[in-house]
A and B are shown apart, each in its own frame.
Chain A
Amino acid sequence: MEEVDVEPTVTNIPGIGHGKHMGFAWGPGDILVYETHFKPSGLTPSGPGGSFIHKVRKDEDINSPILRKLFNESHHIFVGLQTIKDDLPSKSKRPQFVSISRNYRSVIRACMEELQQVAAVSTRDTEMGTQYGNQVSILLAIELIWNLCEVLFIDAAPAGSLLLHLLDWVRLHKADVDEKAKDVLQSDSPAEHHNYWDVVVSYVLQGRLEEARQMLVKQATLQPASRNMYKLMDGLLSKMPFYNPGGTQTLTEFDVKWRNWHEEVDRYLKDNTFASNRHLELICKILVGDEDTLLEQKELLGTWYHFLVTRLLYSHPTVKPTDLHYYAQSCLTMFLDSRSVQEPLDSILLAAFEFDIYLVIKDCSIVLNNWWFVAHLTDLLDHCKLLQSHNLNFGSNMREFLLLEYASGLFTHHSLWQCAVDYFDHCPELGRACLELQIERVPLDTERKALKVLRICEERQMSEQVRSICKIMAMRALRNNRLGSALSWSIRAKDAAFATLISERFLQDYCAKGTFSDLDLIDNLGPAMLLSDRLTFLAGKYREFHKLYGEKRFKEAAKLLLSLMTAKIAPRSFWMTLLTDALPLLEQKEVIFSADQTYELMYCLEELTSSIDTAAAGGERPMQEEDVEQTKVELLRLSLARNLAMAIVKEGTVET
């Protein structure tokens, strides 16, 4: 057993009194909880005490209608990812993985935007509003973490481009600057807007220097006196070198260039060039990477990781991935000194900066209330070959474990179970076993649904499950007296025993009514009739007898009928019916059964009556039925005797 990482949270079950004992049962995605009669001194718990069974579920997001879009759309991406060939060299696959990662993120973003819209509309309904709000903030965090993992692990950007990616990351998640900038620019005199400098400084903090310059121009035109100072600042901003990963410049060349620029900025600062304008001086201090100045901008930075990226931008633009964790840790400590507690998000991001993938996944699993994120991220990282040789001491490997958790959750959902199938398919070790257990338990309301479930099973050669589903459908049809449907289902399952049972029902119905139902099916079975002996008898031989009889081919009909008994093709229980079928043939004017055949018929009848007598001796058949049966036997004997007489006479007569 591994140690517990965090104290598990306590969930109070409403309706279960304090101090009562509870029983529980594990489900695939939830736990069922009930109150018991357990007494501390008592011997055995005696079953449920309360009248309610409570369902406790961790993954509550699965029921959100908007998040369903996330599940469905990401399912599509997931399946696409699994088809990427393993044999390609990993270098050429990297751009593919990055683009898949972006696809996942864009799905998250789309979902988030829709949730935000809905949340904005439903502010009146506070409970729903909070729920939506919570979901939005969870998705925000998920996207933030995913994006960082994409930069650090999947894209694995080297020094130089690493910082550019981190800048993009921060810009994407600190988009309130754009809102503010829009307000400022739309006002009558932007340069005098109270947020003007906030916007300029925010631009600088995010390294959006082009935009910062455009804003500064507006101020410069208002202050002709300090035009030179603005011009100087504009020059500094425009000259700041950025690394161009696609260009010919080497990282060292860039570094030299950047250092020259940095020294120039530093010189201006030391010369107090901007001393007369506190805003420009502030910008200059930021450009030079002054930590105290940066920390004073906490409000505008918002988060420690923004601080980290800004600090790297203006002090260590060629930071190596391996050095990141050092800066990250120090930025976190510097930024959070007033707040003593780290939020879970902080430690997850820190773990990412430390390149501790496992810690990221573990912490996310603990903190987040859905499996979607960890399952998909882990799967993607696994495809990038970043998770080798990490086996858990339970289940299979981590990727499979998380995918199974997620898929099992989906499977408990009324509608999303279909998506889960593909996830199980891509869990090589335990996926099939899980699917086998779950697929049988899908409620089948209509044939349409049964067909879909069957298709899933048949494609995967799950013959046990196919049989069981067909049997369920056959039983249901039988219960509703739809013998034709029931037979079709048992033929599909190749279930001989059940086909025999249904054939018996057909024969019983025939005995009772004297006509066959469902002839459209029985007469069109084809080779399927070979499934069971009884079915062959019913749909093959016995129907053939009826057809011959119908076509007035009496001799052939008689021969077939007799052979059904003498060759023991017909079940003994059916002999009486067959003999009764023989009656009209015996009563024909023309002799149909020969003397030998009549002897055989008599023998059959005697064998049958003797067995009935022995059965009746110990049985308690109602008198009336006994009488009917007795009359039938007597009638038969009479007919047989008469036929025998006629046959002997006929056979003894030499035709002239």
Chain B
Amino acid sequence: MESAKYVSQKISKTRWRPVSYSSLQQPDIFAIGSWDNEENKVSVWSIGNLGSSGLEDGFEGDPQLICEYEHYGDVLDLQFLDQERIVTVSSTGAVTIFRHDQNSQTLSICKQWARAHRYPCDNAPSTGVACNSPEIVTVGEDGRIIVFRVDQEAVVRVIENADSSTLHAVTYLRTTEVLTVNSIGQLKLWDLRQQSNSPSQILSLSRDRVPLYCVDRHPNQQHIVATGGQDGMLCVWDVRQGNMPFSLMEAHSAEMWEVHFHPTNPDHLFTCSEDGSLLHWETSSPSEMPSFLQGGRNSSMTSRSAMAPAGGIQSIISAWLYGDSSKSRLETTHMLPSQTLSVNSLDMLGQCLVCGTDGEAIFVNRQVPV
């Protein structure tokens, strides 16, 4: 890990700007959102591949601020909609689309839905956003799920009382289905094609009601979902089977704030936590293990998955579903030096990792072994 860059703001979110998948390019631009400052900001940073091409060992120096824009309220979630647009949700309940103009290197607001999440007589913080351009889905403490379209002023759809407790995160499972997690340990699956205001499926974490704070979907096998919550455990679920988690793994000693599968190499997974740690998880099957335990249609695995028996999708069971059992090997590595304040967010793209902390530091690692 490269050394910390202190940025004088508590960081709630860090996200890489997407790169086109056709090129084998590494990301070089990321956005951060701040929270709990008197004036919060969204800012765009470069890790400096722009001018200095002389150094090619991956340590070109500190991230440099490109541009920033004031953000009303805490940035509670932030996602890139595409290469130049960023969606944020705020503690004021607002949903905002920022545009990063790459010619003038400026940020500006191109659309805003103020008080999208609200109580009858107060603002309700919006806690999560998922994008599937042109569609945007947000969730909030008010228990609403709201669907927007980038090209429409009006809200497309609101699911009132989608949850009686707070919804903490949302992600797309398929183009028409989203998955939410709430503060009583439930995963709810919503089919946006259905007009009813009730979930098509509820999965829950036994009877302990441990609040869940983050969720991510396996990039290739869409039925596999990872979540993390208050007890810092990593849960892997198979939404097709049962309504209990498939495996539970000890991870952090405090709240897990984010979990991310590596977008192109899903044998790797990353989690960060209030306990100040960032973990890199890697499943690998010992060589004598059948190769079909490896993740499915992953391109780097094509040669091996070609050996998989022709028993259809059912037989290709992701190694993640076995957790830390004897059937697969799971290795975890700490990615940060000892740290005390919470790591609130991380993002992984290619070989590059970026994360941000309550200690107002950003860490970038350009050579994660994945």
Task: Determine if B238 is an interface residue (Cβ-Cβ < 8 Å).
Answer: no
Within 8 A of B (CB), among A447-462: 447-449, 451-452, 455, 459
Query: Quick one: which of A419, A448, A520 contacts B341, CB cutoff 8 A?
Result: A419
Contact A414 B359 (CB under 8 A): no
- Give bound CA distance, A524 to B359, whole Å: 37
Residue of B nearest to A528 (CB): B209
Measured CB to CB, the nearest residue on chain A to B342 is A452
Instruction: Answer yes or no: A269 CB below 8 A from chain B CBs.
Output: no
Closest to A488 in B: B165
Give complex CA distance A66, B7 in Å. Answer: 9
B125 touches A520 (CB 8 A): no
Partner of B124, one of A422, A448, A480, A520: A480
Chain B residues, Cβ within 8 Å of A525: 209
Q: Tell yes or no: A606 within 8 A of B by CB.
A: no
Inter-subunit contact A414/B165 (CB<8 Å): no
Q: Which residues on B sit within 8 Å (CB–CB) of A521?
A: 164-165, 184
- CB distance B186 to A520 under 8 Å? yes
B64 within 8 A of A: no
Task: Assess whether B151 is interfacial by the CB under 8 Å rule.
Answer: no
What count of chain A residues pass the 8 Å CB interface test? 43
How long is the Cα–Cα vector from A69 to B254 in the complex, in angstroms? 25
CB of A526 within 8 A of CB of B143, answer no
Residues of A within 8 A of B308 (CB): none
- Cβ of A652 under 8 Å from chain B: no
In the complex, what distance in Å separates the CA atom of A488 from the CA atom of B240? 28
Chain A residues whose CB sits within 8 angstroms of the CB of B208 once the complex forms? 526
Question: Is the pair A445, B165 in contact by a Cβ cutoff of 8 Å?
Answer: no
Interface string of B51-87 (1 = CB under 8 A from A): 0000000000000000000000110100000000000
Contacting residue for A518 out of B12, B164, B339, CB 8 A: B164
- The chain A residue with its CB closest to the CB of B39 is A414
Asked if B10 is at the interface (CB within 8 A of a chain A CB), the reply is yes
At the interface, yes or no: A72 with Cβ under 8 Å from chain B? yes
Q: Which residues of A contact B35 (CB under 8 A)?
A: 448-449
Of listed A68, A72, A520, A528, residue having the most chain B CB within 10 A:
A520
Give bound CA distance, A524 to B6, whole Å. Answer: 44
Q: Which residues of B contact A455 (CB under 8 A)?
A: 254-255, 274
For B127, the chain A residues whose CB sits under 8 A away are: 446-448
> Does any Cβ of B come within 8 Å of A418's Cβ?
yes
> B186–A524 contact, CB under 8 A?
yes
Report the Cα distance A483→B184, complex, angstroms.
13
CA distance A597 to B73 in the complex (A): 60
- Cβ contact within 8 Å between B91 and A79: no
> Are B143 and A484 within 8 A (Cβ)?
yes
Tell whether, in the assembled complex, residue A76 and residue B164 are in contact, meaning their CB atoms are under 8 Å apart: no
User: Cα distance A418–B165 when bound, in Å?
Assistant: 27
A389 within 8 A of partner (CB): no
Give the contacts of B87-123 with A (CB-CB under 8 A).
91, 119-122
- CB within 8 Å of A: which B179-196 residues: 183-186
Contact mask for chain A residues 61-84; partner B; CB cutoff 8 A; 1 contact, 0 none: 000011011001101100110000
Return chain A residues, CB-CB under 8 Å to B119: 480-482
- Asked if residues B255 and A526 are in contact (CB atoms below 8 Å), the reply is no
In the complex, A517 has a CB within 8 A of chain B: yes
Taking a contact as CB atoms closer than 8 A, the residue among B37, B125, B183, B341 that contacts A414 in the complex is B37
Interchain CB contact under 8 A, A69 and B163? no
Q: In the bound complex, how far is the Cα of B340 from the Cα of A75, in angstroms?
A: 9
Least Cβ–Cβ distance between B209 and chain A, in angstroms: 7
Interface residues of B in 1-22 (CB under 8 A from A): 4, 6, 8-10, 12
Among B267-306, those with CB < 8 Å from A are 274
The CA of A448 and the CA of B274, in the complex, are separated in Å by 11
Given A446-B91, A521-B184, A524-B184, A65 and B8 touching (CB < 8 A)? yes
A575–B74 alpha-carbon span in the complex (Å): 47
Query: Does B358 have its Cβ within 8 Å of any Cβ on chain A?
Result: yes
Q: Is the C-beta of B335 less than 8 angstroms from some C-beta in chain A? A: no
A580 is an interface residue with CB less than 8 A from chain B:
no
- Minimum C-beta distance from A453 to chain B (A): 11
B187 CB, nearest partner CB in chain A, Å: 12
**Do A415 and B165 touch (CB < 8 A)?**
no
Q: How far is it, in angstroms, between the C-alpha of A518 and the C-alpha of B12 when the chains are bound?
A: 30
Number of residues from B at the complex interface, CB < 8 A: 51
Residue B360 CB within 8 A of the other chain: yes
Q: Does B120 contact A520, Cβ atoms closer than 8 Å?
A: no
Residues on A with beta carbons closer than 8 Å to the beta carbon of B255 = 451, 455
Q: Are A520 and B141 in contact (CB under 8 A)?
A: no
Of the candidates B91, B204, B342, the one whose C-beta lies within 8 Å of that of A524 is B204
Q: Does A527 contact B (CB under 8 A)?
A: yes
Question: Do B340 and A79 touch (CB < 8 A)?
Answer: yes
In the complex, B220 has a CB within 8 A of chain A: no
Q: Mark A475-489, 1 if CB is under 8 A from B, else 0.
A: 000011111110010
Q: How far is the CB of B205 from chain A (nearest CB, A)?
A: 10
Tell whether, in the assembled complex, residue A72 and residue B361 are in contact, meaning their CB atoms are under 8 Å apart: yes
Q: Closest approach, in angstroms, between the C-beta of B174 and any C-beta of chain A?
A: 23
B161 within 8 A of A: yes
B38 within 8 A of A: yes
**Chain B residues near A419 (CB, 8 Å)?**
341, 359
Contact A527–B165 (Cβ < 8 Å) = no
A449 to B358, CA, bound (A): 11
Decide: B8 and A526 in contact? CB cutoff 8 A: no
Chain B residue, CB-CB nearest to A68? B8
The answer to whether B164 touches A445 (Cβ under 8 A) is no
Given contacts A65-B8, A72-B360, A451-B255, contact A414 B38 (CB under 8 A): yes
Q: Mask for A328-364, Cβ within 8 A of B = 1, else 0?
A: 0000000000000000000000000000000000000
Q: Which residues of A contact B142 (CB under 8 A)?
A: 480, 482
Closest-by-CB residue of A relative to B340 is A79
> Are A524 and B207 CB-contacts (below 8 A) given A66-B8, A445-B74, A446-B74?
yes
A488-B184 contact in complex given A446-B91, A455-B255, A481-B120, C-beta closer than 8 Å: yes
B143 to chain A: which residues have CB within 8 Å?
482, 484-485
Which chain A residue lies CB-closest to B163?
Answer: A520
Choose among B10, B124, B209 the residue with the greatest number of A CB atoms under 10 Å from its CB: B209
Q: Of all chain B residues, which has the CB nearest A526?
A: B207
- Do A415 and B10 contact each other (CB < 8 Å), given the known contacts A76-B359, A524-B184? yes
Interface status of B177 (Cβ within 8 A of chain A): no
Q: Choose from A415, A459, A482, A483 the contact partner of B37 (Cβ within 8 Å).
A: A415
User: Which A residues lie within 8 Å of B36 (CB)?
Assistant: 414-415, 449
- Bound-state CA distance A459–B184 (Å) is 21
B150 within 8 A of A: no
Interface residues of A in 508-524 (CB under 8 A from B): 517-521, 524
Whether B183 lies near A72 (C-beta < 8 A) is: no
Decide yes or no whether B317 CB sits under 8 A from chain A. no
Q: Could you tell me if B141 and A485 are in contact, using CB atoms closer than 8 angstroms? A: yes
Nearest B-chain residue to A69, judged by Cβ: B6
**For B6, what are the chain A residues with a Cβ–Cβ distance below 8 Å?**
68-69, 72-73
Question: A488 vs B91: C-alpha distance in the bound complex, in angstroms?
Answer: 20
Report which of B10, B166, B185, B340 forms a contact with A76, defined as CB distance below 8 A: B340
Are A480 and B9 closer than 8 Å at their CB atoms? no
Q: Given A72-B359, A73-B6, A452-B274, A526 and B209 touching (CB < 8 A)?
A: yes
- Bound: A446/B74 CA distance, A: 9
Contact with A along B204-235 (1 / 0, CB 8 A): 10011100000000000000000000100000
Measured CB to CB, the residues of B under 8 A from A are 4, 6, 8-10, 12, 35-38, 73-74, 76, 91, 119-122, 124-125, 127, 141-143, 161, 163-166, 183-186, 202, 204, 207-209, 230, 254-255, 274, 338-342, 358-361
**What are 16 sample pairs from A and B whose C-beta atoms fall under 8 A apart?**
A73-B6, A76-B339, A414-B38, A415-B9, A446-B125, A447-B141, A448-B125, A451-B255, A455-B254, A455-B255, A480-B142, A481-B120, A484-B184, A488-B209, A524-B186, A524-B209
13 additional A-B residue pairs with CB within 8 Å, beyond A75-B341, A414-B36, A418-B358? A73-B4, A73-B6, A76-B339, A76-B359, A415-B36, A445-B125, A448-B76, A449-B35, A449-B36, A480-B120, A481-B119, A482-B143, A488-B183
- Sorted from nearest, which 5 A-B pairs have the closest CB atoms? A484-B164, A526-B207, A518-B164, A480-B119, A69-B6
